[in-house]
Chains A and B, each alone.
Chain A
Amino acid sequence: MPTLHRTLRLQWEEAQQAWVLLYPEGMVTLNESAAAILRRCDGSRTLDMLIDELQGAYRIEGIAAEVHAFVKHAFERGWLA
């Protein structure tokens, strides 16, 4: 169950009209899909549940490969634990 790393904070920034990831002395501005995934990485869902939920919420299908790739990237960047 992917979980945001405890040293990171994810929040909506009105001035940037975007979700951002905050960490010591740094910030990443997220695009919509990255934010949609990371907001659901709270340790309460498996990756499969997360994908189902996204497909339901956005009424799309076949996004599993993209989500897997992004989650892999997020682990490598140290965003997920």
Chain B
Amino acid sequence: MRPGPPLWLLAELTYRCPLHCAFCSNPVDYARHGAELGTAQWLDVLAQARALGAVQLGLSGGEPLMRKDLEAIVAHARRLGFYINLITSGVGLTDERLGALRAAGLDHIQLSFQDSTRELNDFLSSTRTFELKQRVARMIKAHGYPMVMNCVLHRHNLPHVGAIIEMALEMGAEYLELANTQYYGWAWRNRLALMPDAAQLREAEAVVERYRQRIGSRCRILFVVPDYFETRPKKCMNGWGTTFLGVAPDGTALPCHAARMLPGLSLPNVADMPLRDIWFDSEAFNRYRGTAWMKGACQSCDEKEADAGGCRCQAWQLTGDADATDPVCDRSDHHDRVRAIVAQGRLAAVLSQGRVERGREAPLLFRTDANSLRLSEP
């Protein structure tokens, strides 16, 4: 059966970023990747994706505002009929640029915060950006954009969930994405320093539920329990090659943000191949499409259509076999590895007395060019 079109295009315009977040989802070796696509190449990618049927566009990075041609990219995307989401740290978002982006047709802005406190926000991003982000949030609303506030959660800020929700309400955000850390890239390196425990998650979820009851549709709160605390995997990317098409700064086409880590997966580049061929015909986008690729436990499972086998990157990271059952599933022979990481995280939390800066057992590794180069030495 021929797959449907990609509906969601994520354009990672650059890996340059003024922040150094310890849970960044960019690849750890990003500093060794090739040159960024030029303006004309991005405009061409957008036109090809739109012709395929993509309609939601995420402009992300890194920090997309580092690209001086962002306004030109937005204007082109709008002419093509995309719904355009800017996913930003807010650094570099001036009143002038907000106005220019609005005029170019930008639909919505997702602004990240790291915490409701200046101390933790600035520590986790290794910057002084808390006040700046607050100013930017006010400007975004003054320009009339719908705003999603995004905050990545882990054991250090899960106890602040109530204050984070209050902050989102005060800023007038229409949506609040409480994104529990997913353990890939830098977050995987920092997993023992970030991993929450089950009680923290339960409490945070209860707080979210109380707010939902109280505030109704004024601000929609998204809170998803992280994989490591589940017994069934999530339908990663809504199924490989069904919905999502990512393009990395150097033009590499990605069936999921993290797919670059998978061994032996030859990812096509938009500079070498038309997007239509990449989506429908490339080996990479077909490898985990559907259910035929699944092995033993998944192949005979009555839930295989529901979760599409879960996450390939997680299978690779935790079992060393990218084709294996996602070990989050308690039917996996390797589910104990997920539980072991959760237990190790608890131990690291006890040893550091809950103080992130005292993590002798599991010191935080910040996302910097120097760390990227050091960790990916050939």
Contacts and interface: CB of A to CB of B under 8 A. Distances in A.
Interface of A: 6-7, 9, 11, 13-16, 20, 22-27, 76, 78
B67 to A, nearest CB: 20
Nearest to A77: B217
Interface string B76-99: 000001010100000000000000
Given A7-B108, A11-B81, A25-B85, 17 more contacts: A7-B174, A9-B83, A13-B53, A14-B53, A15-B5, A16-B5, A20-B55, A23-B108, A24-B107, A24-B110, A25-B56, A25-B108, A26-B56, A27-B83, A76-B217, A78-B217, A78-B220
Contacts of A9: 83, 107
B55 A24 contact: no
B108 to A, nearest CB: 4
A26 B110 CA distance: 13
B52 A22 contact: no
Given A13-B53, A15-B53, A24 B5 contact: no
Nearest to B5: A15
Contacts of A20: 55
Interface string B103-141: 000011010000000000000000000000000000000
B146 interface: yes
Interface residues of B, number: 19
B53 A27 contact: no
Contacts of A23: 83, 108, 146
Given A7-B108, A78-B217, A24 B7 contact: no
A32 B146 CA distance: 27
Contacts of B55: 11, 13, 15, 20, 22, 27
Interface string B208-234: 000000000100100000000000000
Residue among B52, B83, B110, B174 with max Cβ neighbours from chain A (10 Å):
B83
Interface string B16-47: 00000000000000000000000000000000
B175 interface: yes
A16 B56 CA distance: 13
A27 B148 contact: no
Contacts of B7: 27
B255 interface: no
B58 interface: yes
A16 B50 CA distance: 12
